[in-house]
Structure 1
């Protein structure tokens, strides 16, 4: 019997696609591999953490496929970012940014399977901080999001549209700056990058 296939970007299409016009979505509880750190995204700590995260995500995918449970494309990289200096995200010191990088995992990924897969991945990649990964159920709830196309440095213009939308709707931000990277920024030209910018929100 063949392994069932599923594309979780399509299953959760409202969470992993967006338009440039701001819109509201509801993000349910989902499982994520996560890793935390501090520093600019071009720093060594961030690069090593992201490499470890992908290593873990592919290890879990391989374990689920080997078990005949489900086969799927690994989900996009995501990041929660918040400043360490009290400024707005886009105005803060990059070297003091705090972050949680994460990749969504399928509902079939039981904790025991994830733990075993990560332990094996840590043995294969001793130079990466795979041991720092955690597997967590996380619900973001009601959010506002918009698609940003172009370099990360140009995000403030998209964020201003998003802030204006929130003000017009009587909403306020209640959580951390969330980015979902639909493009592989290691290979795509900066002007072609596609990034969903998202914030949890609530009525004022």
Structure 2
């Protein structure tokens, strides 16, 4: 199973904002805190890709072979401490040292927590025992495709916020970024394509 092809709609977005429904999905993930630009952030990102490759190798000998390598990241703040943070100024309202994140890669539904734990216990990869089975159902979301450097998201996210507000929506969950192109510390970001996706609920 090629996850990217199996769930093509999930990995597709337009440069213009849109509304969509996202059902439950399963992931391998690892959590962290602080700015996404730190060394430990990139270490965790590299480790989860290696771990998923190892998990896929573990399944290759069965009829449940799969491939998946698109890195996704869920971001959130503890709003009990910092208050509500909307889509448009998500990265500019609060010190990024207070940011929480979950680096994730989507996996087939037949992979369960027990398999992840079993592979982790046999692995000597970094963070092997920190990887978690994670399921999430975002529901109604707004999204768009951002092209280019991450810094440009400071101009793109207000566009998504404006669209959400015009359609009577308010941010209702974790900010979600799907990295359709790989990225590494120090490399040019001009070629990047990133889906910016936020769960929303109707404002009353």
Bucket of the pairwise TM-score, normalised by the shorter protein = 0.7 to 0.9
How far 1:191 moved relative to its partner? 1.4
Aligned equivalent of 2:190: 191
Per the normalisation by structure 2, the TM-score is: 0.87
* Structure 1 ranges of 4+ moved more than 6 A: none
How far 1:149 moved relative to its partner? 0.2
CA contact (8 A) 1:171 1:202 kept: yes
Matched, 1:38 2:38: no
Aligned equivalent of 2:120: 118
Aligned equivalent of 1:80: 74
Q: 1:13 aligns with which of 8, 12, 22?
A: 8
Q: Which runs of 5+ in 2 are unaligned?
A: none
In 1, Cα distance between equivalents of 2:182 and 2:75 = 19
Aligned equivalent of 1:182: 180
Q: 2:104 aligns with which of 102, 105, 124?
A: 102
In 1, Cα distance between equivalents of 2:201 and 2:58 = 39
CA contact (8 A) 1:75 1:105 kept: no
CA contact (8 A) 1:31 1:135 kept: yes
Q: For residues 49-98 of structure 1, give each alpha carbon's deviation from its aligned partner in whole angstroms, at most 9, with x where no partner exists.
A: 222212221121111112232232x2311111124655642203233321
CA contact (8 A) 1:39 1:45 kept: no
More moved, 42-51 vs 151-160? 42-51
In 2, Cα distance between equivalents of 1:161 and 1:52 = 33
How far 1:110 moved relative to its partner? 3.3
How far 1:45 moved relative to its partner? 2.3
SS class of match (2:9): coil
SS class of match (2:36): coil
CA contact (8 A) 2:27 2:106 kept: yes
Per the normalisation by structure 1, the TM-score is: 0.87
